[in-house]
Structure 1
């Protein structure tokens, strides 16, 4: 009689992908499963049938040189702490028996090889081997990344698109992003990222062992997203031209970046900035099964001397100067990952800050976190990792200092500017969610444009003195050079709260092609008349830099009667700010000088100018089904005062293969663009269709997106 042989091992891919919620990885050649849950394989035998009394099955599972061997039993006993293989005796098919392999909820993440051995009564052995990729399991209660709500698992693991938030707290810009975690080859690239890491090269055995721990994994990924210490994914660049690579503002998703990195033999992709670093890390963490979301901190401090005070210097004419090593980024983007923290205690479980943007070294490497958000809020700077640094990013005070000829002549302190607003994408909706209270104790409501503008009384009408007098000239010799040192004997003036109050506010959200209108409100709290010089100054700036030279200014004088209020209304015309790059911001400052007492009073604001948007309309949006051609229409109206031209790009993970490009010829002011798009959805679920119009004659990109719900036919 012919003996038993293994003809094939069927990985039951369709069933296992559904059971482990990994259907998105169906394009992977390797089975993808999650730890802490069994998966089924079926044997196709040749010769005689399997004899449970005479034949023995064993399985060996290997990750690198680490392995575990286990007998296949008939006991359906699943353990969350060890590897087990069993045959369910109910409905057993002896010619094609099914084997369930269950791995512990703390098994290391990676690409495994498993070998199946059959030992017959004649002592003969046959063997078959195959592979599977093992990921973390946020659906498993015993897994360190377990998150208890299904809508959050869908958002932070399964959602392959999202929104990144940039701009300013007063004018938040939503930037669509494709995380692309289910696109072809992305899973393999993310697993290879762990293999390329210095930790793996240094000790493969220890790296594999440590991959059971999301704390370890997250620190490795945080370091590998930037290329400062290793063969990481992205090279950062914040100034100069981007001719050797791609301007960070032009990336629309993680897939292109990760694919380019892998195809180049793991050479850094040029270039990234904070939101790109964070978005790519979010992709990698979601692929590995660790819940992840992108977070924006508006007015994010970089405190170099760790005194929790950020110093900003202004000249007496309101020009912001590049003196301090400290800085405030208008926004900074990082990620949060969800995990337990057995190293810190159960109270520190939950969201953890991780920042792949290379700013400071942590443990000798450019990475940051995981820093428990709860520890940041409670200022537990005694705990790991990098809590003091992140605490300063959201809590430092801002000291605005006015200097004249190297001497401090006035200063004021703002305790609420830093960390003014912290947000992430809301679960299930394309809007932002305010999570500021997760990071800090809030004494008063987070400011908005409307609340700041409401400080202007409706009946405060300007009189004839409220118009700036342009007839006098200003001595510019008071500008402080970069190498000037402050005179420590200078008298610091804190009198603004008692004598004169100046409030600077935008009248409305600035929009490209329209004047920037703003109001200066001056309040005299003293019972004496005052005559004051007024200096207004506007400078363009990158979100993470001090401003460049002044591009607009105005100087004049006003008279204030005792206990008087003056309202000054001003505007910056489009022609005056047209050379400000598309993603740049504007630093606007006003300095008042009391001509009698020589006291100085400063108010400043930084804002972005909103770009017009593309509109995407999907035909029959309630009947979009898998593998059926659909149509969308992209429209844009040129609201600029001059013709524009460029290239329209349309992408959509799960909707469009690759990228669609269309050349846009000259659009005259007021004319419109209408572009029909056809696409065939290849994945079920809510997907993002996004379009971007790169304008060639000005440094600006117009964006738009539409969420598309795809159902099965």
Structure 2
């Protein structure tokens, strides 16, 4: 429902940046002058001076501001750093002449809100931006303008105003003099200052990423093209803020901006960028596994104004990273392996089993994702105690509401590690994702729930991100949590519990019987070999009654079908011994005519004379890879070729196949369709392109169809001048 601001504000709050408006008449007489004289008047004996040209000095400014990569015809600069403008007048200026530069942002700009900025170059005071005359050469002045490091970020309209005795003569509206102002990770006084130059190059300037998926002990990687410098993407990011109706005057505040953006990147309550879909039915849009980058998503959103179908967590995280890097905020995609989704905020994940040992998927309300991806943004936190600045979790995947909207963060990573859950924003939920305690319980026919196992070490196995300047991973788990079982970990968990309301985990006596599941790493379509390992630390031999179940699941842990494996077995374990029970799972047991879901969940529950234990094993099946090659001559503005090849290893045909390829500065997003790829059938696809940039680039590709997903590949290519 539209918000009616009448009666609450003198005027509507300005919330639009990408507007085309006539800001004022070319000549505006002073309010305290006689309004009947609405024409310019010069001083006695003086000839009128006018502006002939305003040059935004694109090349020198973009180089100085690290914005050369932006494919944009307008000037792109960073706040807190001087940029140069050359103004040519109709004649050399005299001491009697006066002028000012004016920069306006949004609809209804106002000097009181710093959305109408006046820059002066003499003794007369101006607005918050400073100005100086760098060079005076005849009719042309070279001017230096420095916006403060907390200036509003967005697109500004630029004017030169000549001050006359009875008013102000403005230059005409000229879109070529518009400029974009960004956050500045190079300025120590900016809230997003990042002190390390390799880090700035990675987290602000790099347009390629690697996202980690799969499972903790069988990780896979997916290449992603962030595309933050591509044509139209900067406007798309500003459009997202406009669509959010965020007040223009708040857009210099990185905390408010990232929090608003985390809501706008999903569509659940505000017609945001992406529609989430975990159903495996993507017939009304694009499969999340088909995307290879952010450019197509953001371009479609600004073109249509409608949410783009479809996304899952890594798509949300990657597009959010594109948005943040485009605006100059250091950011990176994070993967948390074995990630808890705690529905009630008590840092406990409850897994419920039936009396026969099978998992009760109806009564298990919490979920444990194989992995979950979110975004980190780097910023100061003046609203928090010292030491909680730096990397902050910002998550656009719609999981739980925060302040009435599906959003998350910014949540201080340092606060998560220390268990300081009393601070904003969403620290309890983020803490639970990496630290939840898993409680296994049985439920009987009378709905009585009896806990039998508590596992403190299952969740948050590893937190990874792409390493700086490499396609390898960096393990940053220590940034989120102390080593499990350490003194610091116990202190953190105790501190976190002080902020938790509701039912906490039970204290159960330590069991002398334990169980775990081992599994080989296999490719989809291959048999799975499991090993259930029992360890008896008691002084007596025990006979265990156990149940093994296997499910095909979504990577979120939710079951995709009924169990394909349910088997009871008995094993005797001698005192202080380990007993291994092997299981052979045939491919046809978990496959039908498709392999779109690459996740298997095995659980075992076992009982011995009133003592119960359980274990879970997530098996992430590896998808086949794409073969990729590029032509050897890699020169700027010279035609090249990229080739992609694939052979179907499955025993069934792949139908309605879509292959995608893209690389920022090299190849715009391109698609190729195949109706059928038969078993052992092969395809080859070659695309020509002309490189527009130099340096190390990555071409990212994916193959996707309803009965096989997650097939990806990427290749590096170094473009020389």
TM-score, normalisation: structure 2:
0.83
Are the aligned partners of 1:667 and 1:673 in contact in 2 as well (CA < 8 Å)? Answer: no
Quote the residue 2:275 is aligned against: 235
Mapped partners of 2:142, 2:253: distance in 1: 31
Write out aligned runs for 1:452-467 (5 A).
Answer: none
Mapped partners of 1:338, 1:53: distance in 2: 47
Alignment equivalent of 2:119, drawn from 70, 73, 98: 70
SS at match of 1:223: helix
Quote the residue 2:190 is aligned against: 143
Write out aligned runs for 1:248-259 (5 A).
Answer: 248-259=288-299
Matched, 1:118 2:162: yes
Quote the residue 1:6 is aligned against: 51
Instruction: Kindly tell me the number of residue pairs found equivalent between the two proteins.
Output: 643
Matched, 1:160 2:172: no
SS at match of 2:179: strand
Mapped partners of 2:166, 2:139: distance in 1: 18
Quote the residue 2:459 is aligned against: 418
Alignment equivalent of 1:88, drawn from 134, 138, 161: 134
Alignment equivalent of 2:380, drawn from 340, 346, 350: 340
- 218-227 or 582-591: bigger deviation: 582-591
Are the aligned partners of 1:55 and 1:121 in contact in 2 as well (CA < 8 Å)? Answer: no
Are the aligned partners of 1:320 and 1:546 in contact in 2 as well (CA < 8 Å)? Answer: no
Mapped partners of 2:364, 2:653: distance in 1: 41
SS at match of 2:178: strand
Write out aligned runs for 1:627-706 (5 A).
Answer: 627-644=637-654, 646-661=657-672, 663=674, 666-669=677-680, 672-695=682-705, 698-706=707-715
Label 1:394 to 1:122 Cα distance change in 2 as closer, same or farther (>3 A): closer
Cα shift at 1:35: 0.5
Are the aligned partners of 2:354 and 2:444 in contact in 1 as well (CA < 8 Å)? Answer: yes
Quote the residue 1:479 is aligned against: none
Cα shift at 1:187: 0.6
Label 1:494 to 1:444 Cα distance change in 2 as closer, same or farther (>3 A): closer
Quote the residue 1:202 is aligned against: none
Are the aligned partners of 2:149 and 2:190 in contact in 1 as well (CA < 8 Å)? Answer: yes
Alignment equivalent of 2:62, drawn from 10, 17, 27: 17
Cα shift at 1:132: 0.9
Matched, 1:575 2:588: yes
Cα shift at 1:388: 1.6
Mapped partners of 1:11, 1:639: distance in 2: 57
SS at match of 1:97: strand
Mapped partners of 1:126, 1:546: distance in 2: 62
Cα shift at 1:554: 3.2
Label 1:148 to 1:541 Cα distance change in 2 as closer, same or farther (>3 A): same
Quote the residue 1:518 is aligned against: 530
Alignment equivalent of 1:504, drawn from 517, 521, 525: 517
Cα shift at 1:164: 1.7
Alignment equivalent of 1:185, drawn from 232, 239, 243: 232
- 149-158 or 611-620: bigger deviation: 611-620
Mapped partners of 2:219, 2:685: distance in 1: 28
Label 1:430 to 1:118 Cα distance change in 2 as closer, same or farther (>3 A): same
Alignment equivalent of 2:602, drawn from 588, 599, 609: 588
Quote the residue 1:195 is aligned against: 242
Any idea what the Cα deviations from partners look like across 1:458-505, whole Å, max 9, x if unmatched?
Answer: xxxxxxxxxxxxxxxxxxxxxxxxxxxxxx9xxx9967832x332211
Cα shift at 1:72: 2.0
Cα shift at 1:141: 1.3
Alignment equivalent of 1:615, drawn from 624, 627, 647: 627
Are the aligned partners of 1:329 and 1:545 in contact in 2 as well (CA < 8 Å)? Answer: yes
Root mean square deviation, CA, Å: 2.8
SS at match of 1:659: strand
Label 1:310 to 1:586 Cα distance change in 2 as closer, same or farther (>3 A): same
Alignment equivalent of 1:301, drawn from 320, 326, 340: 340
Structure 1: gaps of 5 or more residues: 200-206, 446-487
Any idea what the Cα deviations from partners look like across 1:403-457, whole Å, max 9, x if unmatched?
Answer: 4434456621111111121111111111221111101111379xxxxxxxxxxxx
Matched, 1:709 2:718: yes
- 375-384 or 660-669: bigger deviation: 660-669
Quote the residue 1:442 is aligned against: 483
Cα shift at 1:155: 1.0
Structure 2: gaps of 5 or more residues: 1-45, 111-115, 487-502
